Amino acid sequence: MLRLNLLPKTNGRFFSSALYLTGDKAREQFAVLVPYLDFKHKLGDFERLKRNVRLRRYQQLDCDNLIRQWELYREVEKRKKEIEQCRIELQKRIQQTSCKEEQKQLKSRAILARDDLKMLKEQSYKVADAFIANSFLSIPNDLHQRTPEDECQCIYEKPVPARIERAATNVERLQEQLEQFGQTCLYMTGDAAWMDLRLPMHCCETFRQNNCILFCNPDFVRSFLVEAAMVSKESLFLVREDDEPEDKVNLLHLCGGGSLLSFLGYFTKLSVFPSALPLRLVASGKRYHFQQTQSNEVHVFGACKTSQEAEQMFDDMVQIYKRFYDQLPIGYRLVQVAAPNLRPIESMRVDVEVFDGRNERYVKVAELGYYTDFLSKRIAFIYHEGKVQHFPHVIAGTAMSSVELIKLFLGNGVTLADLPMINTFAEQK
């Protein structure tokens, strides 16, 4: 039986990584995934890494400490290889010699080398855990050349329609059709309820007409995928399972089928044929946020073989976003997000911001991110060309979030009658 735990402090019990387990922890915990650790790319140019961290204003990573841990980790690994090589050479000499006295001496040295290696391996677990789990896997994605360094940039804007109703009427309609019960419960009636049903359906159909495949995702995700996507576990509901060990690290979380996390389970440790790429998927489902109202959302996911193909798919997806939002009687803009506002896993992102005429501000309702091959390496999503292993480049994003969009519609005088593209049950005259 599953139990939803609403207490945020329960998520604070995570002291170990579920994404990367050292050998000592793997004896008690099942290692579902071994992420690809690209030391050469990530640590090959420290100046590039420091610039990335500085532009992002990323406080979770201390580059100087990372360098020290990297040097210690390499030294320990080098010493382990030297001892192992010494053991192999001693074994060969034992087999080759016919002198009993020399065999005895060589066996004594081999036993000492074995014990030294065993002791060093036990000590190396702490070094690997501190370096890989707590530092290396915290390194953010590389910044794309399109990402602004300081300020967000508007790349497209649709003007606000001229027709605006009186503010008092809008507020009254909003209060009538959206009734809030605390932070996590919202009750919809009338046009709001119909919009909540039909907007995701119409959005999915827009993407389906543009060569995207409809997908159905699970509502739950394990901790190792939450870590792989660099999402805070405190932002998700924790689901407690019966007979769950107290020291279990790979727990169950409620995310909803309209999120990036819900896609990841399908592609983790997956090897696809090159002919299967590119992938263009769209899924509609709930999105559960800790201490926020759940929402019906539409999420898109794409995968390509190369960065050039992925950038082209990213631009194509942005055009589909525009086709969907251009149909709506609202003003909106597309914003190229600056480096300080990116999530660690993102290389580039474009946000859709709708104009709220009542409050004279823009409100974010959708986004599209480019993850390069960074995410694929963390979940071991691969394809092969000959005997060479490659990692697909991934794009993904929320195409629409119903609650925020409906609040903006009703608050600015947009009713179901103003949305003929989704009002499919209107009476035929």
Question: CA-CA distance, 194 to 406, in Å (whole number)?
Answer: 10
pTM, entire model: 0.86
pLDDT by position in tens, the chain (length 429):
455 554 444 444 434 677 877 766 655 566 677 889 999 898 888 899 999 999 999 888 888 888 999 999 888 888 888 888 888 887 887 777 777 777 778 778 888 888 888 888 888 888 888 888 888 998 999 999 999 998 999 999 998 876 555 455 656 766 678 777 777 778 888 888 888 889 999 999 999 999 999 999 998 988 889 989 998 888 888 888 777 777 777 888 888 888 899 999 899 999 999 999 999 999 999 888 777 788 889 999 999 999 999 999 999 999 999 999 999 988 899 999 999 999 999 999 999 999 888 788 899 999 999 999 999 999 999 999 888 999 999 999 999 998 889 888 887 778 888 888 887 654 443
Name every residue whose Cβ is closer than 8 Å to that of residue 213 and which is 6 or more positions away in sequence.
Answer: 279, 280, 281, 282
Structure tokens at 42: 């990530």
Tokens of 262: 């819900």
What are the structural domains, with CATH classification, of the chain?
25-138 (1.10.287.40), 153-218+254-419 (3.30.930.10)
In the sheet that 237-241 helps form, which strands lie side by side, from edge to edge?
Answer: 2-5, 237-241, 252-254, 220-222
Q: Is 67 exposed, middle or buried (0-12, 13-18, 19+ CB in 10 A)?
A: middle
**CB burial readout 230-264, b (16+ within 10 A) else e:** bbebebbbbbeeeeeeeebbbbbbbbbbbbbbbbb
Question: How many residues does this entry show for the chain?
Answer: 429
Rounded Cα distance between 37 and 32, Å, is 16
What burial class does residue 227 get, using C-beta atoms within 10 Å of its C-beta: 0-12 exposed, 13-18 middle, 19+ buried?
buried
CA distance 62 to 259: 30
Distance of CA 125 to the CA centre of its chain: 27
Q: How far is CA 125 from each of CA 64, 122, 128, 135, rounded to the nearest angstrom?
A: 21, 6, 5, 14
Asked if 225 and 17 count as a contact pair (C-beta separation under 8 A), the reply is no
